Amino acid sequence: MTRIAVLLTDRCHPKECQGECRTYCPPVRMGQECIVWGPDTKPIISEDLCIGCGICVHKCPFTAIKILNTPEAAEGEMVHRYGQNAFRLFRLPVTGGPGTVGLLGSNGIGKTTALRILAGVETPNLGDYEHPADLTKVLEYYRGTEMHAYFRKLSRHELRTVVKPQYVDGLAAIDQSIEDYVAEGGGNAARALERTGLYSARAKRLSEVSGGELQLTAIARTLSADADVYFFDEPSSYLDVINRLTVARLIRELGEDRPVVIVEHDLAILDYLADRVHLLYGEASAFGVVSHPMATRTAINTYLAGYLREENVRFRTEPVTFTSHPPKPPSARIPLVTFAPLVKEYPGFRTEVTGGTFHKGETVGVVGPNSTGKTTFVKMLAGVEPPTKGGPSPTVRVSYKPQYLKAQGDWSLQDRVMALSGGKDFDLSFFETDLVGSLSLRPILGTPLNKLSGGELQRVAIALSLAMDATLYLLDEPSAYLDTDERMNAARVIRRAAERRGAATLVVDHDVYFLDLLADSLMVFHAATHGTGKGGRGEGPYIMREGMNRLLKAVEVTFRRDEETLRPRVNKAGSALDREQKSKGEYYYDPAG
């Protein structure tokens, strides 16, 4: 094992501390230069002199230092290191031949770094960050392995690569239409627009379209590009379940005769489109190790179990377990909140929702295509938007997490908790004993919200809404920006909160695994036209199987359950199971249903 010292530079604020890391470091006190101040006045930690006591880690008021050991399994396999006390990546995914290779791991573990290296955007330095990186050394390193030919072609500029970047929000600043932007990428743009469902929207300016359309635009451009290797970094963000399944099918087809590499946090989608998967483990922002490739089913089951035997690595303390969803007996369903049919109209848009009942302790998933009125419905229940017709909204105490999170002001979660904890509606004990741990909030408790990443802000918002004592919880897209692990933890804690309070919880989301872990029942929204305007119609709640059936029938996709883990798996279109389930109307097969 090798000791590494990592400084999270964005968390280190040398002007706002007393230099505690250096003051208390035992080797420094003995006169050794274990920690010195760098030109930016931030600490530089010597890994040779460090004795691994961990004192600096605990003394730093901003938790900006990590002192860790890298696993023996990865020894001698460092591919890239950004700097002295910076992130390092061990090993790379294997690609080059036809097939879709998936990368699965938490945020900050090196997936994008691996992707950038394979795409030829970043040259790996093999750990030697002091000298310019050089592909001839890389060729030497990979001699005799599958990746040698790949890097040889890359070094000779014989590989054309194209990357669908992780963040698509920036496209909105480009002054172009969807069609022009996709065409600029080369290849058959019209076909890509058609297949991604963008053709009728092709004339829209990028500045005017929704996040989902920006994502589809970036995917269409990548799909149509004339390249040798294709990379997709998180293609499912902002997309609804139906778009996700369509895009998954397109990427899967692309990978039938070409190399494709994909980073994806939605397990149903990754499971469907990847031929093999590398798990990435390590410590976020410090180091990441790419596992050897595995068949997709094995990789995802291993990931859920949380233990990688080949490398003796545990990357979760508890396994994630799925259960089938038999309907609850009527005696277990105690009605809690009833709402009357609701209608909301905006110019050119109308959504209507049939009335329904939520039960004590019930978690209700809300699914359907984008722009059908799911957020509008939740806002009506929250009392944020008045219905045009129907209602009134239920008069119970509501805790609402909106879809779009705003980090206004420079207050931190800790400040907020201090302000709320005097009130009788704030459950401080649940916050401290459960939410802080389950949502990994400790390192960011004191960070101003406007300095948090999207995933951190999401976890804070989930925690604040679950810590309020309410009868009805409304969580709009809690899985957005979260990695797979965070999604699984969030699902668990949302259920625990509902059970603790005997409350009802509504969760609008697009991640099938997240919903399957969470939901007892489903409300389903469909697109509907109203005169010349667009809109939607929401129905339910239905029992899980019935709700998924209604959603999936519209897209002709079937799911089965994995025999070993009971997790849902998309059936290959036209396979024997797919045909059998369709003929029985079992789009979301559940052995206990």
Distances (CA, A) of 448 to 13, 407, 453, 478, 578: 13, 9, 11, 20, 49
Distances (CA, A) of 172 to 13, 167, 188, 242, 371: 33, 11, 23, 23, 19
- Measured CA to CA in angstroms, residue 246 lies from 198, 362, 547, 559 at distances of 12, 30, 20, 14
Give the single-character DSSP code of 187.
S
Site for ligand SF4 in 187-246 (CB under 6 A): none
Shortest CB 379 distance to ligand ADP, Å: 7
- 474-513 residues in contact with ligand SF4 (CB under 6 A) are none
CB 161 within 8 A of CB 229: yes
Give the pair of three-digit tokens for residue 544. Answer: 């899980």
Count H helices and E strands in the chain, helices first: 21, 28
Asked if residue 50 binds ligand SF4 (CB under 6 A), the reply is yes
Q: Which of 33, 346, 433, 502 binds ligand ADP (CB under 6 A)?
A: 346
Kindly indicate which of the ranges 52-60, 145-153, 434-442, 582-590 contains the residues binding ligand SF4, using the contact rule CB under 6 A: 52-60
User: What does the block give as tokens for 332?
Assistant: 């277990």
Q: Judged by CB, which is closer to ligand SF4: 6, or 273?
A: 6
Picking from 591, 589, 565, 4, the residue whose alpha carbon sits closest to that of residue 287 is 4
45 binds ligand SF4 (CB under 6 A): yes
Cβ 489 to ligand SF4, closest distance in Å? 28
Beta-carbon count within 10 A of 1 CB: 11
Q: Which of residues 40-69 bind ligand ADP (CB under 6 A)?
A: none
The verdict on 34 binding ligand SF4 (CB under 6 A) reads yes
Q: Shortest approach of ligand ADP to residue 122 CB, angstroms?
A: 8
- Binding site partner of 25, from ligand SF4, ligand ADP, none, Cβ cut-off 5-8 A by kind: ligand SF4
- Please, which residue, 51 or 420, has the CB nearer to ligand SF4? 51
Three-state SS for 251? Answer: helix
Distance CA 407, CA 18 (A): 28
| Helical ranges in 86-126 per DSSP H | 111-118
Minimum Å gap between C-beta 110 and ligand ADP is: 4
CB atoms within 10 A of CB 420: 16
Q: How far is the CB of 22 from ligand SF4 (least distance, A)?
A: 8
In terms of CB distance, is 45 or 463 closer to ligand SF4?
A: 45
Distance CA 62, CA 333 (A): 47
Q: Which of residues 93-112 bind ligand ADP (CB under 6 A)?
A: 105, 107-112
- In order, the DSSP letters of 520-540 are SEEEEEEE--BTTBEEEEEEE
Among ligand ADP, ligand SF4, none, what binds residue 505 when CB lies within 5 to 8 Å by partner kind?
none
Closest separation in Å from C-beta 97 to ligand SF4: 44
Q: Which of residues 517-536 bind ligand ADP (CB under 6 A)?
A: 525
Query: Does the footprint of ligand SF4 cover residue 35 (CB under 6 A)?
Result: yes
User: φ, ψ for residue 58 (rounded to 5)?
Assistant: -80, -30
Query: Least CB distance from residue 83 to ligand SF4, whole Å?
Result: 16
> Within 10 Å of residue 288's Cβ, how many Cβ atoms?
26
Q: How far is the CB of 109 from ligand ADP (least distance, A)?
A: 4
Angle between helix axes 454-466 and 413-420 (nearest 10 degrees) is 10
Q: What number of chain residues touch ligand ADP (CB under 6 A)?
A: 22
Out of 67, 73, 109, 300, which residue is the one contacting ligand SF4 (CB under 6 A)? 67
Is the Cβ of residue 285 or residue 399 nearer to ligand ADP in the bound state? 285
Identified binder of ligand SF4 from the candidate list 4, 6, 55, 289, rule CB under 6 A: 55
Q: Could you say which residues in the range 348-407 bind ligand ADP, by CB under 6 A?
A: 349, 370-376
Task: Confirm if 552 and 582 have CB atoms less than 8 A apart.
Answer: no
The binder of 161, among ligand ADP, ligand SF4, none, by C-beta within 5 to 8 A per type, is: none
Q: What DSSP state is assigned to residue 432?
A: I
Q: Which amino acid is at 154?
A: L
Which of the choices ligand SF4, ligand ADP, none does residue 446 contact, using the CB cut-off of 5 to 8 A by kind?
A: none
In the complex with ligand SF4, the residue whose CB is nearer, 50 or 463, is 50
Closest listed residue to residue 123, CA positions, set 170, 163, 82, 165: 82
Instruction: Note whether 53 binds ligand SF4 by CB under 6 A.
Output: yes
3-state SS of 131-170 is CCCCHHHHHHHCCCCHHHHHHHHHHCCCCCEEEECCCCHH
Quick one: what does residue 52 bind among ligand SF4, ligand ADP, none, with the CB cut-off 5 to 8 Å set by partner type? ligand SF4
* Chosen from ligand SF4, ligand ADP, none, partner binding at 386 (C-beta under 5 to 8 Å by type): none
For ligand ADP, the closer of residues 400 and 430 by Cβ is: 400
Least Å from the CB of residue 444 to ligand ADP: 15
Quick check: 52 binds ligand SF4 (CB under 6 A)?
A: yes
Q: Which residues bind ligand SF4 (CB under 6 A)?
A: 5, 25-27, 34-35, 45, 50-56, 67
Q: Which residues bind ligand ADP (CB under 6 A)?
A: 82, 86-87, 105, 107-113, 285, 346, 349, 370-376, 525
